[in-house]
Amino acid sequence: MTHAKTPYVVDARYLEAPEPFVKTMEMLDHLKEGEKMLLLLFREPHPLYKVLKQNGHAYETELLPDGTFEVLISR
């Protein structure tokens, strides 16, 4: 799945915990410096935010009208 913001997308909207977290960390591992990935979820992933901050990843979240949170994460 690709997206206008980045070709690297984890659509975790119908996945059970901890899959969204695991898939996001796996995709981050595969990204090169300067690349970005997008995580789609129906909630704001606060525990993931904490890990992203600890590991020095910048992120930006947007809430879409259908209730999807788009989290754009930089490698």
Interface contacts to other proteins, rule CB under 8 A: 13-14, 16-18, 21-22, 25, 42-44, 46-47, 49-51, 61, 63-69
Nearest approach, Cβ of 14 to other proteins (angstroms)? 5
Residue 13 vs 36, nearer CB to other proteins: 13
**Pick 7 or 53: Cβ nearer other proteins:** 53
Please give the full DSSP string across 8-67, using - where no structure is assigned: -EEE-TTPPTTHHHHHHHHHHHHPPTT-EEEEEESS--HHHHHHHHHTT--EEEEE-TTS
Residue 9 or 49: the one with the smaller Cβ distance to other proteins is 49
Tokens linked to 18:
């901890």
Angle, CA 2 vertex, CA 75 and CA 60 arms, to 5°: 40
State the nearest-atom distance from the C-beta of 71 to other proteins, in Å: 11
